[in-house]
Amino acid sequence: MLNKITKSLSSIAFKLFISFWLFAILSIALTRVISTQLAEESVLMPLHKKDIHRLKYLKKRIERSETITVNRLLAKNLPLRGEAILLKDPATTKVFANKNRFLNPLIPYLETNSFDSPASIQFANARITGPLNTTIANTNYQLYIAVKGDNPHFSSYVMQLPKWARIIIPVIVSMLLAWLLARSLSRPLVKIKHAAAKIGNGQLTTRVDHNTTKRIDELGDLSRSFNQMAEKLEQNITAHQRLLGDVSHELRSPMTRLQMAIGLALQSIDNKETLITHLSRCELEVTRLDDMIAEVLSLSRLENTIQHLSLQTCDLSSLLNACITDGQYLANNKSITINAKVPKAVTIQADGKLLASAITNVLINAVKYSPANSTINVFTLLSDKDITIQVVDSGPGVPEESINQLFQPFYRVEHARDRDTGGTGLGLAIAHQAILAHNGNIFAQNNESNGLTVTLVLPR
């Protein structure tokens, strides 16, 4: 319990609340002191003729009446609403008046001030005129008349309140406003803290709520930045988890074949020709494992968002020609011809090795899925803003529902999952990450007749 209270008192919300509240109270106190010193609650005015005329009339009536008393006089209703009679005993300075609220600030003034001659004193909410000396029941009094103002100022209502109320109300109001302000500032921080704690516990889908992110102040910017960070973190961790699962799954098949080949080789020790066949199979599977591991490492480096690109001015024409030459070497095994229209003297700011890897992987993918004795076309389109490279093959194409999945790691179209053309499913994923690293775009679409077109767009 004590730890909980200590933690609450140490929270930023409590610190903000106390700071704002103390500042508000100090401001109110200083304002009150300064206004008391500078402002006058009453102003001495020229004698009000109407008021003094009515006051003389009241004095005559009092002197003519033999049965008048203080209580009866104060209870007397004056003809005009908003008027009141006040009697002051000069001997005791006590002021007698009825219970009109607008008289509350006037009575203390009369008790502390004396006048030798009639005068009119203007207050924020009323006016006093007097005194005229009179006698009631053998006792001398000073007679005053008070007239309530037509449009009293707000301060007049405040002045009518008791002194303790005039102190406690500003304190309560300032406390409420300070609490609301502290809550408004601290609540988004508390939500971000809770969201961060949930993400730390593995709930990667946690986000700061919309009511906080829609704020247009710095706290709103902070919550939106937090959600962006959480989104990127979830994508990276999910990608790594998916990559780990896919790698584990994909390594199982070549490892199984390798184990089988080793087992058969051990059984064929006496048969040299069969032994060589099985050992060759082992070598093939080891090569496949090595290629897969190399591609996984390459993809992992590309998916790392803090990877540093070695950008330099590259001759895109030479780079394309080199990639096409390498692709043609593989295409010769299937008697496939790669036709290319490469413009001359085209340069681009890029990481040459990374860009060559992306283009080569797209060409290798086209060679794998194109039938023998077919043609692959490579087009290069130039504009003021970007460079577009299109690789058009003559293969069977891809089902429309699988187009968007082509660039996911280890994804292969079902009918292509065989040892000869299935591959690892990492080539296009590597190309995708390499192009994204250059702030470009890569996408695929089926041709009208047959085949697939992979388009790479790079900024100039």
Packing angle, helices 272-303 and 218-267, rounded to 10: 180
Q: Which residues contact 152 (CB under 8 A, 6 or more apart)?
A: 102, 124, 125, 126
Side chain identity, residue 241: Q
β-strand partners of 149: none
Q: What CA–CA distance (Å, rounded) separates 144 from 130?
A: 5
- The closest alpha carbon to 69, from 144, 114, 134, 133, belongs to 134
Q: Quote the radius of gyration of the chain (alpha carbons, Å).
A: 47
Which of 53, 153, 249, 415 is labelled catalytic? 249
Q: Are strands 337-341 and 375-382 parallel, antiparallel or unpaired?
A: parallel
Work out the number of other CB atoms within 10 angstroms of the CB of residue 158: 15
Q: What angle do CA 146, 117, 45 make, to 5 degrees?
A: 55
β-strand partners of 341: 379
249 is catalytic: yes
Cα first-last separation, the chain: 64
Long-range contacts made by residues 133-138, C-beta under 8 angstroms, separation at least 24? 134/59, 134/62, 134/63, 135/63, 136/62, 136/68, 136/69, 136/70, 136/73, 136/87, 137/68, 137/69, 137/70
**Residues acting as catalytic residues:** 249
